[in-house]
Amino acid sequence: MSSAEKYATAAYLVVLAVVLLYVVLYAFKLARLEREVAELAELAQRRRAA
C-alpha cells in the first residue's frame, strides 16, 4: 500500500475509532443510569413498605 493509501485508511479508521469510543462512553453512562434506576426502585419499595 502506498503511503497515500496508508494515510487515507488511517483517516477513516480514526473517524471510526472516535465513533466507537463515543459508543463505549455511552455504554458506561447507560450502566450508571441503570444502577441509579435500580436504587430508586428499591427506595420506592421501602417507602411503600413503610
CA dihedral 16, 21, 22, 25 (to 10 degrees): 160
User: How many of the other CB atoms lie within 10 Å of CB of 21?
Assistant: 10
First-residue to last-residue Cα distance in the chain: 70
Q: How far is the CB of 24 from other proteins (least distance, A)?
A: 13
Enumerate binding residues for other proteins (CB under 8 A): 2-5, 7-8, 10-12, 14-15, 18-19, 22, 26, 29-30, 33, 36-37, 40, 43-44, 47
| CB of 11 vs other proteins, minimal distance in Å | 4
Nearest approach, Cβ of 27 to other proteins (angstroms)?
A: 11
